[in-house]
DNA sequence: TTGAAAGCGTTACCAG
DNA sequence: CTGGTAACGCTTTCAA
């Protein structure tokens, strides 16, 4: 018997201290080898039924829990998935995270969350930390502008929401060009003539929505793009600026990067004495909870957030099991228009 | 040289395969012992400056990352905190989670998230999983009705939001009795005479808010309590039921368990042709984002959510470092009334 | 100041 | 079907 085992025995036998139960303890208890116990616990068929039963019973009695750390060291798997997102307080990410946690949990994985606050640097640091933790996979809504710093990643990786130029990894996300197209077309159909766009942060989502906006406008309609951000304050400021710009005609329709931006922008309009949607119509993106219950219920575009979370997890699990299979690109999710009062105008002269 | 090392050398020397760099590799590279490298990397002062510098440089060149799993096995610490909550999509929990992740991250910890969907059973199962992962601490918004199944937990634990009867552990949360008191008093001050309460799920938060409601009503005013839940659908249903109950007088003020419930309840009132706040005034709890931008801006009670997240993390880190110190109970957080249109009535006859 | 030896708790591998 | 041996990558302990 080893010295450490003697110490252990001395400690636990008094009952004063209760050290965690180990495989070895059960083995000694039952006069088996640790290996036999290990196998029995995992239902390995090498072990006889009767032996297995005895082991399981004793383990339950002693309240034995496998030490996941020790197991990971030897198996090389942690059953941990790293989720790297800009901000859990944006409801989009909270919803995706929920779906991911659910799907991952069902497959026996836990999710480690990591915020980046949209900082590319923090993101890289966090990913490195997660890699040193040996997470089995990574799900990232990246704040990077290029794929440079993400190329070195060895861990199976699936990106979502934002595309990275030249990145070979799997991706799950909405067809944002279609988002922009649908939103703008809807405004055109509602009779809007001068449609402005409050664009979001410099990420692929925002780029693509802008492209869709331009697609819809075509040659006939002039574009009017204003930089905003992703929150209501930035929407408010951008709309204020737009209204103050005397040089141009006031827009009669605004396609906003997302719902919070739209809410801020609508506030700016209402404060300026304009009517929504009669003077200015609005479309947002996200389908936030309660956006149908706002001062002016908001027309928006639903991204099927939960489906994105499920899908991204499924892809990652696939990646992880099937090794380095060539990533079969998955079609983008189709957005869905949800019409509410903020964009519903009486038919105009056509 | 061990057999495994020979294999490794054969594999890596061809350049075809790149195995992760280990302490040993750096050591061999530099003609040092693994120990010297280990110490140098951790800035241990046993090692000379020059040696340390060389080690750090080589580690950076090889892109070495400490294997956290191996380290955990020997140190017994994982730098992992388990966060167990009912639902990440309730903005309260998303905000607390954000604050926790921030505070924990600053101290070098990662957060593993686990939803329970308000199921006491799922909660216990998740906690056991987290324990077998050897998380260093647990933060739990418990769905248990008693402390029975949580007593056995050895891992340092801090509860938040919901109190558990007879639980000795630390707790961080709002003074919910005061919440109920403030809300109801406010309605009384606004001239309401018949104040109903839509109570939430059977948890301490809801219990305490109910107590505060009763405190405020005193002997003079009759109480009227209806079971609701925590979402807008349940608020809508509860309010419908209340209005349909012809036996009693319609309430002229309603204190709702939280903002979503209040939103649902207001909807029911407006649909019934009642005016808010003139016929019925409302107060919610939570201070959701955009609750000032609803069809009727909602009077609510702010819980200082981020502060709760910071505090609960601080407490846990304290617990973890200071061992089994007697948990110094922390005062409850003070709620704050935020008055908006949903409860502002013209002064009534007094 | 440095390094050798001894684990940490588990599982993989292979010989009985 | 069973069980011994070695190893996973790191750190703690203690002797040189």
Best to test chain A binding among B62, B113, B117, B300 (most A CBs inside 10 Å)? B113
CB distance B317 to B106 below 8 Å: no
Same fold, B76-174+305-321 and B176-304+336-343: yes
Confidence of residue A44 (pLDDT cuts 50, 70, 90): confident
Q: Mean pLDDT of all residues in chain A?
A: 89
Closest of A322, A24, A66 to residue A170, by C-alpha: A322
Tokens of B260: 């979503």
Provide the positions of strand D that have an atom within 7 A of a protein CB: 1-13
State the pLDDT at residue B55.
86
φ, ψ of residue A168 to 5 degrees: the values are -80, -10
Cβ neighbours of residue A5 under 8 Å, at least 6 residues apart?
none
Q: Is the CB of B24 under 7 A from strand D?
A: yes
Cβ neighbours of residue B252 under 8 Å, at least 6 residues apart?
B192, B193, B194, B195, B279, B280, B281
State the pLDDT at residue A30.
84
A 168-197: CB under 8 A from B: none
Tokens of B288: 């959701």
Confidence of residue A325 (pLDDT cuts 50, 70, 90): low
State the CB neighbour count (10 A cutoff) for residue A147.
Answer: 16
DSSP code for A347: -
Closest of B264, B267, B254 to residue B299, by C-alpha: B254
Scan residues 69-98 of chain B and list those with Cβ within 7 Å of strand D.
70-71, 73-75
Provide the positions of strand C that have an atom within 7 A of a protein CB: 1-13
A3-66 under CATH 1.10.260.40, yes or no: yes
Which of B113, B154, B289 faces A113 most closely, judged by CB atoms? B113
Tokens of B300: 């609510």
CATH no. of A176-304+336-343: 3.40.50.2300
State the pLDDT at residue B1.
46
d(CA B114, CA B116): 7
State the pLDDT at residue B349.
38
- pLDDT tops 50 at residue A1: no
State the pLDDT at residue B19.
65
**Cα-only R_g, chain A:** 28
Nearest residue to C2 via alpha carbon and C1': B36
State the pLDDT at residue A71.
94
pLDDT digits (tens, 9 = 90+) for A88-121: 999 899 999 999 999 999 999 999 999 999 999 9
Spatial distance from the CA of A155 to the C1' of D5 (Å): 32
- pLDDT tops 60 at residue A265: yes
Best to test chain B binding among A61, A85, A93, A94 (most B CBs inside 10 Å)? A94
End-to-end CA distance of chain A: 94
State the pLDDT at residue B10.
60
**In Å, what is the CA distance from B208 to each residue of B205, B235, B305, B307, B336?**
5, 19, 18, 20, 16
B76-174+305-321 under CATH 3.20.20.70, yes or no: no
Cβ neighbours of residue B23 under 8 Å, at least 6 residues apart?
B34, B37, B38, B41, B64, B66
Which of B68, B70, B88 faces A94 most closely, judged by CB atoms? B88
Q: Is the CB of A2 under 7 A from strand C?
A: yes
Which of B72, B91, B113 faces A111 most closely, judged by CB atoms? B113
> Of A152-161, A169-178, B42-51, B181-190, which gets the smallest average pLDDT?
B42-51
Higher per-residue pLDDT: B31 or A310: A310
Domain map of chain B by residue range?
A: 3-66, 76-174+305-321, 176-304+336-343
CB distance B32 to B39 below 8 Å: no
B139 touches chain A (CB under 8 A): no
A 294-323: CB under 8 A from B: 294-295, 297
Residue with tokens 């009763």: B214
- Kindly provide the b/e burial profile for residues B293-327, where b requires at least 16 CB atoms within 10 angstroms of the residue's own CB: bbbbbbbbbbbbbbebbbbbbbbbbbbbeeeeeeb
Q: Which nucleotide is nearest to B73 (CA to C1')?
A: C8
Best to test chain B binding among A17, A66, A68, A127 (most B CBs inside 10 Å)? A68
Higher per-residue pLDDT: A289 or A338: A338
Q: Is the CB of A26 under 7 A from strand D?
A: no
Q: Is the CB of A346 under 7 A from strand C?
A: no
State the pLDDT at residue A349.
38
Tokens of A344: 């519903």
Confidence of residue A287 (pLDDT cuts 50, 70, 90): confident
- Kindly provide the b/e burial profile for residues A160-182, where b requires at least 16 CB atoms within 10 angstroms of the residue's own CB: bbbbbeebebbbbbbbbbbbbbb
State the pLDDT at residue A210.
98
Confidence of residue A17 (pLDDT cuts 50, 70, 90): low
> Of A202-211, A282-291, B130-139, which gets the smallest average pLDDT?
A282-291
State the CB neighbour count (10 A cutoff) for residue B214.
Answer: 17
CB distance A254 to A272 below 8 Å: no
d(CA A54, CA A59): 8
Spatial distance from the CA of A82 to the C1' of D9 (Å): 22
State the pLDDT at residue A13.
57
Nearest residue to C5 via alpha carbon and C1': B35
pLDDT (average), residues A213-234: 95
- Whether omega before B40 lies within 30 degrees of 0, making that bond cis, reads no
- pLDDT tops 90 at residue A214: yes
B75: burial class by Cβ within 10 Å (0-12, 13-18, 19+)? exposed
State the pLDDT at residue B3.
54
* Low-confidence residues in chain B, pLDDT < 70: 1-19, 247, 323-327, 346-350
Q: Is the CB of A42 under 7 A from strand C?
A: yes
State the pLDDT at residue A28.
83
- Kindly provide the b/e burial profile for residues A291-318, where b requires at least 16 CB atoms within 10 angstroms of the residue's own CB: bbbbbbbbbbbebbbbebbbbbbebbbb
B125 touches chain A (CB under 8 A): no
Indicate the pairing of strand A300-302 with strand A336-338. Answer: antiparallel
- pLDDT tops 80 at residue A85: yes
**In Å, what is the CA distance from A283 to each residue of A185, A237, A266, A278, B131?**
11, 17, 10, 13, 47
Size of interface A-B (CB pairs under 8 A): 123
Tokens of B262: 């209040």
- pLDDT tops 50 at residue A348: no
Spatial distance from the CA of A222 to the C1' of C10 (Å): 67
């Amino acid at each position: 018997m080893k010295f450490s085992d003697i110490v252990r025995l001395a400690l636990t036998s008094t009952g004063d201290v209760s050290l965690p139960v180990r495989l070895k303890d059960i083995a000694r208890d039952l006069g088996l080898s640790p290996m036999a116990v290990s196998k029995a616990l995992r239902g390995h068929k090498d072990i006889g039924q009767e032996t297995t039963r005895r082991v399981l019973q004793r383990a339950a009695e002693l309240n034995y829990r496998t030490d996941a750390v020790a197991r990971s060291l030897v198996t090389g798997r942690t059953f941990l998935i790293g989720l790297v997102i800009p901000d859990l307080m944006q409801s989009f990410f909270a919803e995706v995270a929920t779906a991911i946690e659910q799907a991952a949990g069902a497959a026996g994985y836990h999710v480690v969350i990591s915020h980046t606050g949209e900082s590319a640097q923090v993101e890289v640091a966090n990913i490195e930390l997660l890699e040193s933790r040996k997470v089995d996979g990574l799900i990232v809504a990246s704040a990077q502008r290029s794929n440079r710093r993400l190329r070195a990643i060895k861990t199976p990786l699936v990106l979502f929401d934002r595309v990275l130029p030249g990145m070979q990894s799997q991706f799950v996300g909405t067809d944002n060009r279609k988002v922009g197209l649908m939103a703008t077309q809807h405004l055109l159909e509602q009779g809007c003539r001068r449609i402005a766009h409050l664009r979001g942060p410099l990420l692929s989502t925002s780029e693509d929505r802008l492209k869709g906006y331009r697609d819809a406008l075509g040659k006939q309609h002039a574009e009017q793009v204003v930089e905003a951000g992703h929150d209501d304050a930035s929407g408010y400021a951008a709309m204020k600026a737009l209204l103050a710009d005397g040089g141009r005609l006031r827009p009669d329709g605004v396609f906003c990067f997302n719902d919070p931006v739209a809410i801020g922008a609508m506030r700016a309009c209402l404060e300026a004495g304009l009517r929504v949607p009669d003077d200015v119509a609005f479309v947002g993106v996200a389908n936030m909870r309660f956006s149908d219950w706002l001062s002016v219920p908001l027309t928006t575009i639903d991204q099927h957030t939960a489906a994105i979370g499920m899908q991204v997890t499924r892809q990652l699990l696939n990646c992880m099991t099937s090794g380095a299979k060539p990533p079969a690109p998955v079609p983008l999710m189709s957005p869905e228009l949800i019409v509410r009062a903020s964009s519903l105008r009486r038919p105009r002269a056509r």
